[in-house]
Chains A and B, each alone.
Chain A
């Protein structure tokens, strides 16, 4: 019997695997895809402060480009810039990064297996006690004390376990991205974001450089729109002469949970982390930091539960509590801003851009200082009713 089985070898799953293997537990990590880290469902932006916080000694080949600033365009073409401390962020190569994270977990003693589908769960008295899986047509069953689901937005495992993690379709960005080469980039150390209801309803377009002439060019749109996301992306690229001459090296798509944080992420012998638990920043849609953070505190809660020989939902609820205290309440504030942001017209966005400075925007993404945004929105009479939610 394994101590812990983890399903899904993205950053959340491998973080949990690494921390638990490090503490000496018998951990297995299963990934259904044939290759860890591909295809990516990600724009690959990551904060170097996050890497430091998780003690990641990132090998050079994980990082494609160091980033020191962001430029945010409003619909009328004006922009605001956020400058970070020296090289505050980076654009990763997820194929390399994800594999490296898993290698780290293996070095600590975890067993990892790709191309392994979990087809069902073993249950006793309604509680999860193991998994049924398949590897190249060979079926297997494996029992465990704890099961961790980190299987992404589709989160099949949670639903099998009895936790309904289905996303509200109004709270999922529809995302698509081209990795493009042969494009012109003004400053390869800067990421570019473009807002506007015409170009990206409820979301934004992005250009994340991976070198001097290569970038992830993508879009996330929210809710029911006239066009599928890819058509908005094609229109965006067509409108930019520096992009439309480029070549497409890779096409990625995905759903990005931008809201609907889960109050309950645990059952007896079971918990869920990462996109599967909607642990994503609702404003910028980034989940790399959140998944690894959750993987770490999930591992702490599981460690304590296993030490006590009690993996009941009650004992594991410590993970819910810790996550909400350390991340959830903060992301809930970001979600409030997102709710207001969704209702802004292009004129409102232009107004915001004229009245915001870079540090305000950084606060905006982190859900800090909501009152400031509330006060600003109060200057637009038709926004007063939305602004109130920020006080």
Chain B
């Protein structure tokens, strides 16, 4: 699961630009992740300049 800390997110859109599967979208309120597209590569989490993103492993 893609988890966004909206208090930290500055909505710069950098994560959207590096998402290899175009799963992220910059919206009025933050970043929205299409979980069906997301491959949980973690690129957005390691990129985020303000550590607003966490990719949590799905519970099975």
Contacts and interface: CB of A to CB of B under 8 A. Distances in A.
Interface string A157-178: 0010000001111001011100
A37 interface: no
Interface residues of A, number: 28
A153 B11 CA distance: 12
Interface in B30-60: 43, 46-51
B14 A172 contact: yes
A159 B20 CA distance: 11
Contacts of A166: 17-20, 22
Please classify the interface of chain A as helix (H, G, I), strand (E, B), loop, or mixed, using the class held by over half of its residues. mixed
Contacts of A152: 13, 17
B10 A154 contact: no
A228 B15 CA distance: 13
B12 A252 contact: yes
Point out which of A155, A174, A225, A257 has the most chain B C-beta atoms below 10 A from its C-beta: A174
Contacts of A159: 22
A229 interface: yes
Interface in A220-234: 224-225, 228-231
A335 B50 CA distance: 26
B18 A172 contact: yes
Interface string A223-247: 0110011110000000000000000
A255 B17 contact: yes
A254 interface: yes
A77 B50 CA distance: 27
Contacts of A41: 12
A143 to B, nearest CB: 24
Given A41-B12, A154-B26, A172 B20 contact: no
Interface of B: 10-20, 22, 25-26, 43, 46-51
